[in-house]
Structure 1
Amino acid sequence: MLVIIGDGKNMLKKIIRLLFLIAMMMPVNAAFASVSILCYHEVDRSGDAFAVSHQRLESQLQFMKNQGYHFVSLDEYIRYTKGELQLPEKSVMVTFDDGYRSFYTKVYPLLKKYQVPGMLAIVSSWTNHEEKPNDVRDTASWDELREMEASGLVTVVSHTHAMHKQQTINPQGGRNGVVGSHLYVNGHYETDEEYKTRLKNDLSEVQRLFQEKLGHKARAMVWPYGIYTKEAIDLTKDAAMEATFLLDGGVNESGENSRFYAKRMIMESDFDVQRLKKLLTVNHDSWDSSGIRMAQVDLDNIYSKNSRKYERNLQNLLKELNNNNINLVALQAFADPDGDGNVDEVYFANSVVPVRADIFNDVTTRLQQRGLMVVAWLPVLNYQSLIKKDDSNAVKSRGEKGWYHRLSPFDQEGLKQVKLLFNDLAVNTQVAGVLLQDDLYLNQDEDVSFPAQQAYRKQFGKDLLTIDAKDDKLGNWKMAALDNAARQAVDAFKMTRPQAIVMRDIYAGALLYPDAVSWLGQDYTDYLQQYDYTVVMAYPFMDNEEEPYEYLQRVAKVIKDKNGAAKTIVKIQSYDWQKNRWLPAGVFSKQMSTLKRAGMKNLGYYPNTFCFWPK
């Protein structure tokens, strides 16, 4: 999901490119025709990063015509995604946002000249002269819109009535698009009902005006800034809209997902024909990129009750991320200030777990302002407030204890609370996805808790305590329970953020040792099938490896042998926990270079290295 905050032009460019990088790294089945959708804005407006010149627009249309591209109308696109229409392989759709008058004076004549269908998304409160930001120039009139629609070439759709704006979304005053999350008003977040009513009222006004002014209802919604929620999309369906359009990069295949989550590629002012050609012809399975560069950030090291220190810490973080060319941040959403690994509180507003400070939303927003993709890093099981005082629903061992005190993955009542927590996070924070922490494991002697024993007896009719801990079937059963716990949490998050990026930590040992399922409950092949990205915790110094770089090479070899490089982020350590010191810069760099030479494109590190501030 695209998120844009603040004034946003340079930041939007950075996020668009990162989204394009991630979209291109997701394999696409090339055997089926797909539709590329281009997103244009203003024409002939100097100083605007997303305004193309009239000459450049015409050259792009000429190029696509000469190359034999089939231009798709909105009606064709809807029929195609419903499976009612087949399209040729080289299919493209051109869309224009905001409803500027330059569309009528500059674009419409070109569409007629080349007989190209186009889709125009209007902000109806702007068109109706009810409100308009100072930086928005003239918009096309209702008469002009009717004229263009009568030509049969232009389809006018909605860009909302009055939701193309940003308002406060957290206690610190951060602002973002008003569709994407509950607003923070008068000292509290909107309720679910208030959010829903606000959107329903806007959509109702859209359809009233479209019917009154254009003689028909809007068939599609183009989300401002590309920000949306599943609730918002469901409400557009209730309002009789047949498609919604985003800004996430990529191409669209037939199916309902492409109809309501249509991906568009934003056109920038400096895109010449060669850039356009690359957009339209890139091989999604082998696209050459510099890859993902992820930093996993401890919010414990940012937070301070002293607001000046909090701000200084945050600025230091931003500098570090910029210096290290980071494009993805896995931001700690839970609190563990004593470092014991057990979670007592979190950093976001919710109805389940105590809140240490409601700052996750603020830090996320500030990172996004710098063009960084942010995912929430948090556990699934490791919440102390969800564990009963008698530990009856906690993971229990018949031998070696694990290093986290955590909820049993077999405790369904506890998992219901986890689902609420993940949904609250999604509702109150416009975050792009989640990184599931490494608490999702069970060692060889775990779990023999009461919920686990009940589940085993119910499924197999046997006493769990009589089963050999090394039994392969037992290992697979435990792994399935962990996967189920993860799935429930992710599904709850996706109730609001349906296109969320999902990552999960895995120990490097799960790649290197064949019996890892029995003593960890983790399987790399299983991860590759279930998650957008697997984050391999390759920590040679923590694991006391005598040959740390050879260890990293072995990890990389397994990843390549499993064809997992595109969907794997290898995370190295920047701190030596055994010696309680930061790794020398040369050692840190050598880890990175070893992995890059071994063919790893997606790299990350933990912990973040800016924690040297004076007290």
Structure 2
Amino acid sequence: MPSRRQFICGCMGALAGCSLFPSLAPAKLIDILPPADPADGLTFRAICFHDVRDNLRAEFNTNNVIDPYAIDTGTLTSIFSWLETNQYHCVPFSAVLASRTGGKPLPPRAVLLTFDDGFRSHHEKVLPLLKQFKYPAVMGIVTSWVDTPADQGVRLSDTLVVPRDTFMSWAEVHDVAQSGLVELACHTHDLHHGAVANPQGNELPAATSHLYLADQGRYETDAEFQSRVQADLGSCIRQVKDRTGFAVRAMVWPYGAQNKAVRSVSTGLGMQTQFTLESGPNTRDVPLDRMRRILATYDIDVGGLERSMREPAENRGEVHPVERAVVVSLDDVYDASPDVQEKKLGDLIERIYHLRPSSVYLQAFSDPTRSGFAQAVYFPNRHLPVRADLFSRAAWQLNTRADVAVYAWMPVLAFAAPENLNGRVEFVAAAGGATLPPGASAVRRLSPFDPAARELVRDLYEDLGKHSSFTGVLFGEDAMLSDFEDAGHHALDTYARWNLPRNIEQIRADPALAKHWGDMKTRYLIDFTKELERIVLDSQNSGEVLTVRTIFPDVVLDPESGRRYAQNYADFVHAYDFVGLLAMPSRQGITSVDSWLDKLSTRAREVPDGARRTVFLLEATDARTTTAIPTERIAEQMRHLRQTGMVSYGYYPDDFAHNVPDAVALRDVMSMRSRLDPSSINALLSANSASGARR
């Protein structure tokens, strides 16, 4: 699944405020050369093209519909000329491979050209240009499309069939391979399409998703999934070899979607070099099996290409500088009636589309009482009840139809567990016999120090990533430990390894020990969430996983109080893409809200990167009265935050069923996109839907 940034490149944001094909005169930029990437002999940029058509603007003017991933022949010619004029070196795939295996270094400003899907235009239009400029390229071939008989259409999905001559014949594939300029790559045999991945019939990328076998009422096993992918890629490799005589050495993943399991399959078949659709340079630290590529879309011009060639690697916060987040509970979407549930999901998507935030923080677990405790989840897994297999469908629909990034909101410790798993957080009794010590959470949590509990949480995050596609993870506020907890025996064993007494009261009585204890627990929970992030990344159907860690406002304002929660604001800013500041005054009994927000903003600006990475999560419901906060008051708080230099904010919870907060009234302060004419939006969404299977 392409990242949010890639969807924006090909969707509605591309039309705002610009002509369809600005002038492509290379001379304008001759004297503005982008800074060179490291001249280390290993770094290069790759560009991904799809179909190439004459007079693409005329197609748009005639039909008001355009394939956002096709480019005009004249545009491609201008790009080639610009690369030549601006001293880029287009290199063959063999040079990239040699540079990574101890051979000849790449030249400075190296570029690899790639063309996906095996369009007939690659033979008719691209190959002559490659010969004219003497440029080598990689072409990814979908062999089932080439196999289609001449008198039949090529079926790209259940609803989309294109003429057979959209794609090359085997004779044409052989011709481009014989040119001496083209390296053929595997783009799968028959996995370049969506496949049913849940009981609701939602389609996800076939190459990376466990299929839902409706006739058997179950999902593919891991073994079945890997066997299917291996058989398909093996078939592609064999056919290319048999038909052209050339051995395939590279894998191009459809939609850029890949994960650890399929990368392993590809490597085992001899295709260690694998291409995604993540942008940025391929520096020495980018592994061969996750090569980045710039995705060229229909509106690309020299200016856009020049910016892309300057773009750094997608480091945290650099490509995602601003968050405007809406927190949504799937408990509000779920309904026992499939028809009612589908209607609710449609209403949510329509609301988010018109509200136009950057992200939705989507609750992946069931918690009807809003306690923060996961009694069940909304995705297939090994341990907890599945209330409905709803998360993957909702996340995919929000991303592709509402054009927002989706973060899976998950607890870290607050999960129900089997009766035989006793590894829960324990606390020491407070003075006076209080049931709950001051600062301790009333939410039941698994102990992060208990190996069995940690394994259960790891499994849940792995299952979430395996069965869903999403942009990031929001770690819930349950990831805390007060200075009265954890007192379980696994925790005490850990404290002993930290050179602390096996007695919490003794630790609390000594300020130096208490400080060390709080700092170590803070780091321990950060390390655990980073481990969960890596698990999701390995099992995900996309190339990136961003992270948000929630934090209490007390911790932001007073670092000393942070040790009582095992949280640290500065450490969170450094460790995560964003910090979700729970700026909910009614929880704190705050009445002077603006001055309180000012204090939080001041503190954020004092911490390096704090202002850039902190997302103020404002309350949309008063925690004391359960009444809705007036929409204008929420908007005023957002404007006030902007005046203090805070750029990222959102609200919780969203009551989409009752339009609370009011979407129209809030859109001006929440929207991340320019307004477009509705007919243009609908046309482009239709084109994106039609062409999505072809990328």
| Cα distance in 2 between the residues matched to 1:9 and 1:520 | 38
Partner of 2:501: 462
The whole-number CA distance in structure 2 between the counterparts of 1:114 and 1:540 is 63
Unmatched 5+ stretches in structure 2? 16-34, 60-65, 156-160, 431-436, 661-695
Q: Equivalences for 1:2-17 in 2 at 5 Å?
A: 2=2, 13=11
Tell me the residue number matched to 1:25: none
- Alignment partners' CA distance in 2, 1:193 and 1:288: 36
Whether the 8 Å contact between 1:387 and 1:406 is mirrored in structure 2 is: no
Matches within 5 A, 1:359-398: 359-370=390-401, 371-386=403-418, 393-398=424-429
Show CA shifts across 1:443-483 (max 9, x none): 22222123212322355373223222651011112213322
User: 2:574 maps to what in 1?
Assistant: 529
CA contact (8 A) 1:14 1:372 kept: no
CA distance in 1 between counterparts of 2:488 and 2:389 reads 34
Tell me the CA shift for residue 584 of structure 1: 1.3
For the 8 Å contact 1:72–1:117, the answer to whether it is kept is yes
Q: CA deviation at 1:223?
A: 0.8
Where does residue 154 of structure 2 map in the other structure? 132
How far residue 227 of structure 1 moved from its aligned partner, in angstroms, is 1.6
Q: Once the two structures are aligned, what percentage of the paired residues are identical? A: 28
Letter in 2 for 1:407: L
Please tell me the residue identity of whatever aligns with 1:564. G
Give the superposed CA RMSD: 3.0
Q: Label 1:573 to 1:281 Cα distance change in 2 as closer, same or farther (>3 A).
A: same
Residue of structure 1 equivalent to 2:226:
196
- Report the Cα distance in structure 1 between the residues aligned to 2:413 and 2:320, rounded to whole angstroms: 35
Classify 1:153/1:301 alpha carbon distance in 2 versus 1 (closer, same or farther; 3 Å).
same
Distance 1:314 1:265, change over 3 A: same
Give the TM-score normalised by the residue count of structure 1: 0.90
The residue type equivalent to 2:251 in the other structure is: M
1:21 corresponding residue in structure 2: none
Q: Is the 8 A contact 2:334 2:341 kept in 1?
A: yes
Aligned match of 2:692 = none
Change over 3 Å in CA distance of 1:73–1:292 after alignment to 2: farther
Task: Name the CA shift for 1:398/1:557 in 2 (closer, same or farther; >3 Å).
Answer: same
Q: CA–CA distance in 1 between the matches of 2:657 and 2:367?
A: 16
Equivalent positions of 1:287-326 (< 5 A) are 291-326=322-357
User: Partner of 1:605 in structure 2?
Assistant: 651
2:256, 2:280 → 1: CA distance? 14
Task: Give the aligned residue type for 1:534.
Answer: V
Pairing 1:164-563 to 2, within 5 Å after superposition: 164-185=192-213, 186=215, 187-257=217-287, 259-282=288-311, 291-370=322-401, 371-386=403-418, 393-399=424-430, 400=437, 401-460=440-499, 462-465=501-504, 466-468=506-508, 470=511, 471-497=514-540, 499-561=544-606, 562-563=608-609
Structure 1 residue 392: Cα displacement: 5.8
CA shift for structure 1 position 83: 6.8
Give me the TM-score of the superposition, normalised by structure 2: 0.80
For residue 385 of structure 1, report the CA deviation from its aligned partner: 2.2
Could you give the per-residue CA deviations for residues 10-63 of structure 1, whole angstroms, max 9, x where no partner exists?
Answer: 99636999xxxxxxxxxx997677533221111116432221111111111112
Aligned residue-pair number: 599
Is the contact between residue 43 and residue 52 of structure 1 (CA under 8 Å) also seen in structure 2?
Answer: yes
Is the Cα contact below 8 Å between 1:39 and 1:94 reproduced in 2? yes
In 2, are the aligned partners of 1:382 and 1:406 still within 8 Å (CA)? yes
Deviations 1:40-90, CA, capped at 9 Å, x for gaps? 111116432221111111111112211122223222333445575544553
Structure 2 CA distance, aligned partners of 1:416 and 1:536?
28
Verify: 1:154 aligned to 2:182, yes or no: yes
Number of the residue aligned with 2:636? 590
- Cα shift at 1:366: 2.0
Aligned to 2:28: none
Contact kept, 8 Å, 2:428 with 2:487, in 1: the verdict is yes
Distance 1:427 1:167 in 2: 14
Distance 1:366 1:375 in 2: 13
Report the Cα distance in structure 2 between the residues aligned to 1:543 and 1:343, rounded to whole angstroms. Answer: 24
The amino acid across from 1:2 in the alignment is P
Contact 2:423 2:446 (8 Å CA) reproduced: no
| 1:3/1:225 contact within 8 Å kept | no
The answer to which of 35-44 and 247-256 deviates more is 247-256
Task: Give the Cα separation in 1 of the matches to 2:278 and 2:467.
Answer: 21
Structure 1 pair 311–528 and aligned structure 2 pair: CA distance change class (3 A): same
1:43 corresponds, among 39, 52, 67, to: 52
What secondary structure sits across from 1:577 in the alignment? Answer: coil
Question: CA 1:376–1:462 in structure 2 vs 1: closer, same or farther (change >3 Å)?
Answer: same
The Cα of 1:256 is off from its aligned counterpart by 4.4
Amino acid at match of 1:171: P
Q: Does the C-alpha gap of structure 1 residues 461 and 43 become closer, same or farther in structure 2, counting only changes over 3 Å? A: closer
The equivalent residue for 2:621 is 575
> Deviation string for 1:227-272 (max 9, x for gaps)?
2221001111101013111122333212343x22122222122222
In structure 2, relative to structure 1, the CA distance for the partners of 1:453 and 1:333 (3 Å cut) is same
Deviation at 1:569, TM superposition (A): 2.8
Mean Cα displacement is larger for which, 520-529 or 395-404?
395-404
Aligned partners of 1:180 and 1:321: how far apart in 2?
27
Q: Using a 3 Å threshold, how does the CA distance of structure 1 residues 322 and 461 change in structure 2: closer, same or farther? A: closer
In the TM superposition, residue 318 of structure 1 has moved relative to its aligned partner by: 1.5
CA contact (8 A) 1:398 1:448 kept: no
User: 1:535 Cα deviation (Å)?
Assistant: 2.2
Does the 8 Å CA contact 2:373/2:411 hold for their aligned counterparts? Answer: no
Distance in 2 between residues matched to 1:533 and 1:16, nearest whole Å: 26
Counterpart code for 1:468: R
Assess if the C-alpha contact under 8 Å between 1:49 and 1:268 holds in 2.
yes
Runs of 4+ residues over 6 Å off in structure 1: 8-11, 283-290
142-151 or 44-53, which deviates more:
142-151
Q: Does the C-alpha gap of structure 1 residues 568 and 241 become closer, same or farther in structure 2, counting only changes over 3 Å? A: farther
Deviations 1:415-467 (A, max 9, x none): 11111111111111122332111111112222212321232235537322322
**Aligned-partner Cα distance in 1 for 2:100–2:139:** 20
* Segment of structure 1 superposing worse, 340-349 or 159-168: 340-349
Give yes or no for contact 2:3–2:544 (8 Å, CA) kept in 1.
no
CA distance in 1, matches of 2:443, 2:99: 50
8 A Cα contact 2:473 2:547, kept in partner: yes
Single out whichever of 161-170 and 123-132 deviates more from structure 2: 123-132
Q: Which runs of 5+ in 1 are unaligned?
A: 18-27
Query: Aligned with 2:559: secondary structure?
Result: coil
- Structure 1 pair 283–486 and aligned structure 2 pair: CA distance change class (3 A): closer
Alignment partners' CA distance in 1, 2:409 and 2:85: 48
| Conservation of the 8 A alpha-carbon contact between 1:70 and 1:90 | yes
